[in-house]
Chains A and B, each alone.
Chain A
């Protein structure tokens, strides 16, 4: 095996001293990092379209049922929604600092920033849990027990279906992100990253920021439909 590596290194001449994290099919760490970043963005393109279908459904039904959208949206707690928006933006800041710490070789700081990011993610999910709980108590969950006062009950159920689909898919991404962050924190704790190679921190950060962006759109679309009472 070591002969094979030596022969490989020899065939490339300039790469006699391989970095331990450089895989043999890449010429350099820069190239490897570029490929990983590009791959992550490719995945995020599919994610944009994944959520995009729901955003399209949302837009169409909102155009068809503006009054139901206005009334149902007012049932959401704007304080909790705004609070969660601030929490997620805060978690993006700590994530950016985690990547920066990894870039500058500060392993301990990387761990701390990622743990902070996870804590903020957990706060978001806990708030979301209480919001969902309130929806169940008020019979705002679509299904046989759905109840909504007034003539807009039917389309309001569509609004709440989309509410649960969009926030549910987002929360699923948060939970997956939480698990990814736990792995990254463990790797950083094991001093796996160096300023030469910190790609997992960077591309996990891309995922985390993407989930933040989805919420940046969900917040005004779901919570702020008609707070001014235009359709009241």
Chain B
């Protein structure tokens, strides 16, 4: 019943790619890309994780049902992160005329504004 048996060369190739990507992510971290450092680092990490899942974890050779389960994990993670962030990141949006204040944390009450951390470089 031995499923798909990958040749050793495949594993060495994936290992090599993972090591190169690790070196790249360290090197690029020392280059000031402004706000792009974070997405680049995450992009490299996602690429590395994908290689591990597809080849080391044999997802590429798994049944469609197993592949769906793998996708489900990241679908739910996506929901967890993005739906939560749509709330938190939109709290600084400009309010309508007559609302409390302009850009910044205008919609919050005075007491919650004081407990709110002062985000660097962001006035209100």
A-to-B contact residues, CB < 8 Å: 28-30, 33-34, 37-38, 41-42, 44-45, 48-49, 52-53, 55-56, 59-60, 63-67, 78, 82, 85-86, 89-90, 92-93, 95-97, 100, 103-104, 155, 195-198, 202, 205-206, 209-210, 212-213, 216-217, 219-221, 224, 226-231
Closest 9 CB pairs of A and B: A228-B32, A224-B29, A220-B41, A45-B73, A41-B69, A227-B29, A48-B73, A93-B15, A29-B1
CB distance from B21 to the nearest CB of A (A): 9
Query: Which A residues touch B52, using CB under 8 A?
Result: 92, 209, 212-213, 216
- Point out the residue from A38, A53, A96 that lies within 8 Å of B66, measured CB to CB: A38
CB distance from A214 to the nearest CB of B (A): 9
Known: A41-B70, A82-B22, A228-B32. 15 other contacts (CB 8 A): A30-B1, A34-B63, A34-B66, A59-B85, A60-B88, A63-B119, A65-B117, A92-B18, A97-B11, A100-B8, A104-B5, A205-B57, A213-B49, A224-B29, A227-B29
CB distance from A223 to the nearest CB of B (A): 8
* Cβ B69 vs Cβ A93 within 8 A: no
A-contacting residues, B12-65, CB 8 Å = 12, 14-15, 18-19, 22, 25-26, 29-34, 37, 41-42, 44-45, 48-49, 52-53, 55-58, 62-63, 65
* Cβ A64 vs Cβ B22 within 8 A: no
CB distance from A204 to the nearest CB of B (A): 12
Query: Which B residues touch A56, using CB under 8 A?
Result: 80-81, 84
B3 interface residue (CB < 8 Å to A): yes
Query: Which B residues touch A221, using CB under 8 A?
Result: 41, 45
Query: Which A residues touch B11, using CB under 8 A?
Result: 93, 96-97, 100
* Smallest CB gap from A66: residue in B: B120
CB distance from A40 to the nearest CB of B (A): 9
Of listed A45, A55, A97, A216, residue having the most chain B CB within 10 A: A216
* Cβ B49 vs Cβ A217 within 8 A: yes
Binary interface encoding of chain B residues 74-93 relative to chain A, with 1 for a CB under 8 A from any of its CBs, else 0? 10110011001100110000
* Cβ B73 vs Cβ A228 within 8 A: no
CA distance A67 to B48 in the complex (A): 28
B-to-A contact residues, CB < 8 Å: 1-3, 5-6, 8, 11-12, 14-15, 18-19, 22, 25-26, 29-34, 37, 41-42, 44-45, 48-49, 52-53, 55-58, 62-63, 65-66, 69-70, 72-74, 76-77, 80-81, 84-85, 88-89, 117, 119-120
* Interchain residue pairs with CB less than 8 A apart (20): A34-B66, A37-B62, A37-B66, A41-B70, A42-B69, A48-B76, A49-B73, A60-B88, A63-B119, A64-B117, A65-B119, A89-B19, A90-B15, A92-B15, A96-B6, A96-B11, A104-B5, A220-B25, A227-B30, A229-B32
CB distance from B99 to the nearest CB of A (A): 22
CA distance A52 to B85 in the complex (A): 13
* Cβ B31 vs Cβ A228 within 8 A: yes
* Cβ B48 vs Cβ A216 within 8 A: yes
CA distance A63 to B88 in the complex (A): 10
CA distance A86 to B6 in the complex (A): 22
Query: Which A residues touch B30, using CB under 8 A?
Result: 227-228
* Cβ B5 vs Cβ A100 within 8 A: yes
